[in-house]
Structure 1
Amino acid sequence: MKIRVLLLGVGRWGVNHLRLLHSLPVELFVAEIYPERLAQARALGIPDTHLFHNYREISASVDAMVVVTSANTHFELCREFLEAGKDVFVEKPITLQSEEARILVALAERHNRILQVGHIFRYDPASQWLRNSIQQGSFGRIKILRGNFSGFKRPRSDTGVTFADAIHFIDLFNYFMGRSPARVNAILKDFMGRSMDDASLVTMDYDGDDGTTWATVESSYYPPGKYREVVVVGEELSAVCDYNIAQYKIKTFGNKHIKDGGDSKAIEGAVHQIEFPPEEPLRMELRAFIESIQTRKHPLADGRSGFEAVRIVEAALKSAKEGRTIELNR
C-alpha cells in the first residue's frame, strides 16, 4: 500500500513540492485555502477527491504531512500533526523561535515520529562530497568557510532574509563541520523599511581541537543575478562550489602558503573540476523523507538540525540588535 501524504501549501515553493510528490510512489492529497492554487493540483491530475481547502477534512486519514506554508504557521501545524502521530516534513525554518523548535524535536522523539526539515542543500551530491572530504581530512584543517546566498528577487513577507536565505548556508556549514559554532556575530540592514532584515552578513566561529574555523554567510535581495556559492579553504586544499551549476559544481585548488625564511609564499597547486550526475535536490530530499517513513531511519536534516539553525539565526538577530558577539552554549 502506498504511503498517504498530505501536502499543505501550493505557493511559490509549494508548487515544486506538488510536482515532485506527484512523481513519487505515494498517494498524494493536497490542502490549499486559495482556489486558484488548488486548481494547479487539479491541472496536474490530482483527483478532486484528493483536494481540500481545509486540511482537517483529511488529516486523520493520511500517514504523513509535507508543510510548505508561511513560517509563522509551522510550529502550530507541526505540533498538531506530531501529537496526532503523523510523520512530518516541514520547510525551513522549522519555526521562528528556537524554543518552539525544541518542543517539536521533543514531540517527535516522544511519539517516535519522523521530523525532517527542508534544509535542501544537505541533499545535494556536491554538499555530500564536500562534507565527506572535510571529514576525511582531504582539506586539512579548515580555516575559512564562506557562503553567498544573494540575488535580486521579491522578498519574503513572513521572515527577514537571514531566516529566509542565510539559514540555508548556516545549516550547511553545521553539516560540514559536524557541530554548531561557538560564537555568532552579525550585521543586518533593513533598507526597505519593513521592520525585517533584507541584507545580512553573519559570521560564525567553529572551535575545534585544531583551531577555529571562521565562517561567513552573506545574503540579500539586491545584487543583480543569482548567487549560490560556497568557498571552503583548508590548509591542504580549497574548493569553490557553485550550486547554480547542474553538473560541474565544484572546483578544487591545491593552493598552499609555505614559509620561506621570514616570509610566506603563495604556491598555486593543481585545479580539478568535480562532476556530479544532474539531480534535483528537492526530489532527493522528498525521496529521503519517504524512505525515512518506510525504514524509520533518522533523516539527514532532522528536527535537531532545524533547531540548531534557528538558534544561530536568533543569535545573529540578537548580535545585530545589541552590537556584540553572542556566545552559544553547547
Structure 2
Amino acid sequence: MNYAVIGTGYWGSNHVRVATELAEDGRIDDVILCDVDEDRLDDLASSYGVRGVTDYERLPELGVEAATISTPSPTHHRIATDLLTAGVDVLVEKPLALDSDDAWDIVDVANEHDRTLAVGHIFRHHPALVDLKRRIDRGELGRIKYLSTARFSFRAPRETTGALYSLAVHDVDVSNYLLGERPERVYCSLDDVVREGIDETATVVMEYDGATSVINESWQVPVFGKRRDLVVVGSEKAAYVDYLEDNVIELYDSRVVERNGSMSVRDEGKQVHEAPNREPLRAEIEEFIAASRGETTLRSPGRVGARAVELLEDAKRSAETRNTVAVARSDRSGPSVETDEPRRLESDGSGPDDPQ
C-alpha cells in the first residue's frame, strides 16, 4: 500500500512521522507527502527520505491507495471527495467539515465509491478513555449521571476556526462515545473578545436521557498551564482521566446511599489503574489501514464525524439564539449507535501525543 499525508503542518507532521514508522515496519510500502508550502514540503520529505508533491490530484496516478488529510478544515470537503472519487481511502482530521451538508456529502461519496472513510477523533484511541469506556459498558460505574470536561490553555486564538470547532469537537464526540448515544438538547455560549468572529471560549451543555455533559473549552485561561481532563460520575463510582497522563484512570468508590429514610455519603477511597499504553495517533492510523484492507471496522467512521459536525451546528445555533435547542436526529448513513468497536490491534507500547 502506498500512503499519502496531505498537509504537513504541526499535526500533519505527526501523521508523517507515524506513516514513515509504519513503512519502516513493513506495514505500508511507500509514503508520499503533499503540501502547497514547497519549502516545508521539501524539508520534511528530505528529512524522512520520502517523495513530495504539491498537487494532491497527482496522488492517485502515483499509486496512492490511502491518505491522511490534515489540511485546514475549509479544504476537507473538496480534497476528500476528489480522492474518494478517484478510488483513494481517506482519514480526514477532525472536524470532518465545517458544515453538516459537506460532512454528509463526504460520507455519501465514500459510500457511492465503496471507499473507507475514517475521521480523526483521536480520543477514541486514548488508552485511559478506552479503558473507561469498557468499565462504563460493563456497568462498573453504575448509571452515568454527569460528565465534565475542561480543555484550558493560554494562547492566541486561531485565524480559521474557534474553540468550538477546534476543541469542543473532541468532547462532543467523547460524550457520545462514552454514553453510546447522542444528546437530546444542547446549550452553548461562545466568547470572541480577542479575535472578532473566532470564539476563544466555548461552554457547551448537552442533555442526554438521564445524563448531562458539561464541556468547558478556552484558549484564554492562563491559570492551569495546559489542562485536559474529564470527570465521569456514575451512581456507583466516579472516574477521572487526565488526558496528559496517557494511560492513567482514577476510580472513586463514592456514592450516596439511603438507609431508613435518611441519606449519607459512602466513600471507600480511590483506586488508580494503568491501562495498556499505546500512542493514540498510531493506533488510529493502524486501524484505518486495517479497515482499508478489510481487516477490521472503524472506531470513528465517517458518519461519526458527520454527527459531531451536526452537534457543533446545534451548539452554534444555541449560542446565536441564546436558547437551548433540540438536537436534530439524522437517520443518514447507518445506525445511530455511537460505539462501533473494532477488533483490537496489537499494541506497540508507545505513548500518545496530545493533538490540541
User: TM-score normalised to the size of structure 1?
Assistant: 0.93
> Do 1:5 and 1:62's aligned partners in 2 also have CA atoms closer than 8 Å?
yes
Moved more, 86-95 or 215-224: 215-224
Residue 204 of structure 1: aligned partner: 206
Q: Distance in 2 between matches of 1:237 and 1:40?
A: 50
Structure 2 residue identity aligned to 1:303:
G
Structure 1 residue identity aligned to 2:84:
L
Secondary structure (helix, strand or coil) at the match of 1:269 reads strand
Residue 309 of structure 2: aligned partner: 310
> Do 1:114 and 1:299's aligned partners in 2 also have CA atoms closer than 8 Å?
no
> Do 1:201 and 1:218's aligned partners in 2 also have CA atoms closer than 8 Å?
yes
Residue 4 of structure 1: aligned partner: 2
Structure 2 residue identity aligned to 1:78:
A
Structure 1 residue identity aligned to 2:317:
K
| Equivalent runs, 1:10-25 vs 2, <5 Å | 10-24=8-22, 25=27
1:267 is aligned to 2:270: no
- May I ask how many residue pairs the two structures share in their alignment? 321
| Equivalent runs, 1:141-156 vs 2, <5 Å | 141-156=143-158
Task: Please state how far the C-alpha of 1:154 moved relative to its aligned partner.
Answer: 3.8
1:319 is aligned to 2:318: yes
Q: Distance in 2 between matches of 1:96 and 1:62?
A: 26
Residue 40 of structure 1: aligned partner: 43
Task: Please state how far the C-alpha of 1:68 moved relative to its aligned partner.
Answer: 0.3
Q: Distance in 2 between matches of 1:274 and 1:11?
A: 35
User: TM-score normalised to the size of structure 2?
Assistant: 0.87
Runs (4 or more) in structure 1 with deviation over 6 Å come to none
Percent identity of equivalent pairs:
33
Secondary structure (helix, strand or coil) at the match of 1:179 reads coil
Residue 344 of structure 2: aligned partner: none
Q: Distance in 2 between matches of 1:40 and 1:153?
A: 27
Task: Please state how far the C-alpha of 1:126 moved relative to its aligned partner.
Answer: 1.3
Q: Distance in 2 between matches of 1:78 and 1:319?
A: 29
Moved more, 314-323 or 124-133: 124-133
Q: Distance in 2 between matches of 1:267 and 1:251?
A: 17
> Do 1:149 and 1:220's aligned partners in 2 also have CA atoms closer than 8 Å?
yes
Can you give the 5+ residue segments of structure 2 that lack an aligned partner in the other structure? 330-356
Give deviations 1:267-303, integer Å, cap 9, x for gaps: 2123110112332111110111111112253311111
Q: Distance in 2 between matches of 1:323 and 1:83?
A: 40
Residue 134 of structure 1: aligned partner: 136
Residue 221 of structure 2: aligned partner: 223
Give deviations 1:248-278, integer Å, cap 9, x for gaps: x210001011225554322212311011233
Structure 1 residue identity aligned to 2:279:
E
> Do 1:319 and 1:325's aligned partners in 2 also have CA atoms closer than 8 Å?
yes
| Equivalent runs, 1:77-156 vs 2, <5 Å | 77-156=79-158
Q: Distance in 2 between matches of 1:45 and 1:142?
A: 46
> Do 1:184 and 1:203's aligned partners in 2 also have CA atoms closer than 8 Å?
yes
Residue 232 of structure 2: aligned partner: 232
> Do 1:72 and 1:95's aligned partners in 2 also have CA atoms closer than 8 Å?
yes
> Do 2:77 and 2:97's aligned partners in 1 also have CA atoms closer than 8 Å?
yes
Task: Please state how far the C-alpha of 1:206 moved relative to its aligned partner.
Answer: 1.1
Q: Distance in 1 between matches of 2:153 and 2:262?
A: 39
Can you give the 5+ residue segments of structure 1 that lack an aligned partner in the other structure? none
Secondary structure (helix, strand or coil) at the match of 2:268 reads coil
Structure 1 residue identity aligned to 2:217:
S
1:283 is aligned to 2:282: yes
Secondary structure (helix, strand or coil) at the match of 1:217 reads strand
Secondary structure (helix, strand or coil) at the match of 2:114 reads coil
Moved more, 252-261 or 142-151: 252-261
> Do 2:6 and 2:67's aligned partners in 1 also have CA atoms closer than 8 Å?
yes
